[in-house]
Amino acid sequence: MKILITGANGLLGQKLVKLYESDDQVSVIATGKGSNRNLPGSYHYEQLDVTSSEEVAKVISQHRPDVVINTAAMTHVDQCELDPVSCEKLNVDAVKNIIKACNATDSFIIQLSTDFIFDGESGPYKEEDLPNPQSKYAESKLVSEKLLASSGLKHAIVRTMLVYGIVHDMSRSNIILWVKKSLEDRKAIKVVNDQWRTPTLAEDLAKGCALIAQKQVEGVWHISGKDLLTPYDMAIVTADFFELDKSLIEEVDGSIFTQPAKRPAKTGFILDKARNQLGYEPVNFTEGLAILKSQLAHV
């Protein structure tokens, strides 16, 4: 099977490239904007700007992948609110480009989406629950879902949330690394207690995508962690796990922060469908921290 990954320099992209290194049944074309930031391997890397319809058409027609996993996106929620034009290009127009190119190759498309398409009034959510996006980012991701639904192409939507993990060059941060570094530097931090998520280890998300790609199962899939936690909960567990001073963590509610984009209060995912039909089973949050810790030891 031949799989083309967009956004291969990002956190999920790198985890997918690494995951497939151990599968000699899969040939990987890793693509990204700029030079390759993955570790050396048996995959093929090509530069690709997904907002260019010409580049997307050229690369997909050249390689004719069985599956395209689109991890490329503009995911900074406030940045999307402040720059809706760039958000539209990366999260909507790029998907149009991929759909158009895959029409000619009959490739199966896996599109990443988000818990933010829900308003957070009645989480945790199952796949059939009705979306009600509250931000430009969320709106753009829901539009991309609808584009695929009306495309007539074989596809799957993978919704996820609050993905954490490390890339090998440590070029990206997340809530876990932020909390850890802040406490190691003896810096006091404020962390919200009025938002709930099921944080997702990047390796688990990659495994979920791989299960879908292997079986080319269509539909909407919720792929996340299993523990419903607030960011404050995550910070306390992280402090305890790494034996850091949790008295530096101040519990606050979201009203003290001024953010351009509205966040849903309580999302979280119900994973029954992915468990029953894909055999997907994520680690718990503490197990995820242990995996992250072992990786940090080798960076």
Q: At what angle do helices 202-215 and 11-21 cross, to 10 degrees?
A: 60
For residue 11, CA distances in Å to 7, 166, 173 come to: 9, 7, 10
Q: What CA–CA distance (Å, rounded) separates 156 from 273? A: 13
Is 292 inside any structural domain?
no
Torsion angle (degrees, nearest 10) of CA 66, 99, 14, 19: -30
Angle at 187 between CA 290 and CA 170, to 5 degrees: 45
**Strand, helix or coil for residue 262:** coil
Residue 59 lies in a domain: yes
The count of structural domains within the chain is: 1
Domain contains 175: no
223 falls in which pLDDT band (50, 70, 90)?
very high
Per DSSP, the chain holds a count of helices (H) and strands (E) of 11, 11
Residue 232 within a domain: no
- Residue 169: what pLDDT? 78
Contact 71, 10 (CB under 8 A): yes
- For the chain, helix, strand, coil in percent to 5 are 40, 20, 40
298 — pLDDT class (breaks 50, 70, 90): confident
Check whether 174 has a pLDDT greater than 80: yes
User: Is the model more confident about 150 or about 171?
Assistant: 150
Which of 6-10, 15-19, 165-169, 290-294 is predicted least confidently?
A: 165-169
> Is the residue at 254 inside a domain?
no
pLDDT value of position 77: 97
**pLDDT above 70: percentage of residues in the chain:** 100
Report the pLDDT averaged over residues 272-287: 98
- Work out the average pLDDT over 251-273: 95
- Is the model's pLDDT at 218 over the cut of 90? yes
Asked whether 158 and 219 are in contact (CB, 8 A), the reply is no
Give, for 182, the enclosing helix (H) or strand (E).
Answer: helix 175-184
Q: What is the CATH number of the domain that holds 84?
A: 3.40.50.720
**Residue 84 falls inside a structural domain:** yes
Beta bridge partners of 3: 28, 67
Among the ranges given (20-24, 169-173, 294-298), the one the predictor scored with the smallest mean pLDDT: 169-173
- Predicted local confidence at residue 168, as pLDDT: 80
Task: Using the predicted structure, report yes or no on whether residue 171 has a pLDDT greater than 90.
Answer: no
Closest to 211 measured CA to CA, from 122, 286, 276, 162: 276
What is the helix (H) or strand (E) element at residue 235, kind and residue range? helix 231-241
Tell me if 133 sits within 8 A of 139, measured CB to CB: yes
Structural domain of residue 95, as residue ranges? 2-166+198-226+267-283
Within 8 A by CB and 6+ apart from 169, the residues are: 37
* 178-186 LR contacts (CB < 8 Å, sep 24+): 179/234, 179/235, 179/238, 179/239, 179/249, 180/238, 180/242, 180/244, 182/248, 183/239, 183/242, 183/244, 183/245, 183/246, 183/248, 183/249, 184/244, 186/245, 186/248
Residues 106 and 295: their CA atoms lie apart, in Å, by 38
Q: Which of 175, 232, 206, 197 is nearest to 116 (CA)?
A: 197
In a domain, 171, yes or no: no
pLDDT tens digits along 74-111: 999 999 999 999 999 999 999 999 999 999 999 999 99
**pTM higher than 0.85:** yes
Is pLDDT above 90 for 286? yes
pLDDT band at 253 (very low <50, low <70, confident <90, very high): very high
pLDDT, mean over the chain: 97
262 lies in a domain? Answer: no
pLDDT for the residue numbered 21: 96
